[in-house]
Structure formats: structure tokens, C-alpha cells
Amino acid sequence: MDYCITNSPVGPLLLAGEDGALAMLEFERGRRPPRVELDWREDRKPFREALKQLEAYFAGRLHRFELRLAPEGTPFQRQVWDALLEIPYGQTRSYGEMARRIGAPKAARAVGLANGSNPISIVIPCHRVIGASGKLTGYGGGLDTKRRLLALERGPGLFD
């Protein structure tokens, strides 16, 4: 697997993938810092497009990523992650809404667990899922990062 680490307005990010597909985008300082495996190869070239799109996203110019993704997870997790990709830029959904969207209205807790297991943060926008009360809930990059990503999507100027 290839990987690179890049700086961003929300701290260092680790990108990893194979054959041109992004399999991981994790926060270096998140609640579960990613580990670079011994057999991984550091190389920025396979991530040129992802890095370019991340830069545009943080500048407020990109609202939807167009990248080949290869997240590893269970069929249920992948179903939740696919549904996350449908949440429009600048909008949020509750865990309950996401459960209903995938046809499992009583599975809000399971949706939350799948959301928390998302290996491709930001690109698969798990930060757009909030509690039923409208409050921010756990996030792998920390609640401050979640708050900053949502603020970025709601208006210009946060990272200027």
C-alpha cells in the first residue's frame, strides 16, 4: 500500500491506498491515530489528485470529491458510507435519518458505529452526521475538527 502524510487546516492527514484508489484518509491526531504498516511505501504521486481536491475543499472551492475510493468494511458499513456520500455539502443529517435512509429505521446506533468506522474521513463526509437534538457527537478527528469542517461548508472565511 502507498501512503503519504499531508498538512491541512485541521492538522496532518494520512492518506493510503493502492492502485490509484484511496482506502484511508485519517487524522494523524485523531482519537485513533492511524498506523503506517512496515510494508507500506511512502509516495505522494498516487495521491496527487486527492491532495489537489483536498486543497480545493479546504479553500471552499470543492463541494464533492471525485476520487476512486476503496474503503474496507462490512456490507452494512459500506451501505452507510455510500449513504454518507449522498449528504449534500453544507448540510447535516441525524443518525436516525441515516438509518431510515438505508431502510433500517431502528438501526441508528449501528449507523453511528459504522459512521465511526469510516476509514476515509472528509471525502466520505461522516462529519455531516449529528445527534437527533442537533448537537455534535463524536468524531474521529475530535469535535473541534468536526465543528471546523461544518463551519467551512456553511460559509467562507474560516480557513482564510
Q: Delimit the domains of the chain by residue range.
A: 2-58, 75-154
Out of 54, 107, 111, 126, pick the active-site residue: 126
What fold does the segment set 2-58 form as a domain?
Answer: Double Stranded RNA Binding Domain (3.30.160)
What is the pTM (predicted TM-score) of this model? 0.92
- Does pLDDT of 113 surpass 90? yes
pLDDT confidence bin for 141, thresholds 50/70/90? confident
C-alpha cell at position 144: 473541534
Instruction: Identify whether 4 is a catalytic site residue.
Output: no
Q: How far apart are CA 74 and CA 72, in angstroms?
A: 7
**Amino acid (1-letter code) at residue 30:** G
Those residues whose C-beta lies under 8 Å from the C-beta of residue 100, and which sit 6 or more positions away, are none
What pLDDT sits at residue 53? Answer: 98
The overall average pLDDT reported for the chain is 92
What pLDDT score does 54 carry? 98
For 52-66, the pLDDT digits (tens) are 999 999 999 999 999
CATH of 75-154, one of 3.40.50.300, 3.40.50.11740, 1.10.10.10, 1.10.3720.10: 1.10.10.10
Burial-class residue 156 by CB neighbours within 10 Å (0-12, 13-18, 19+): exposed
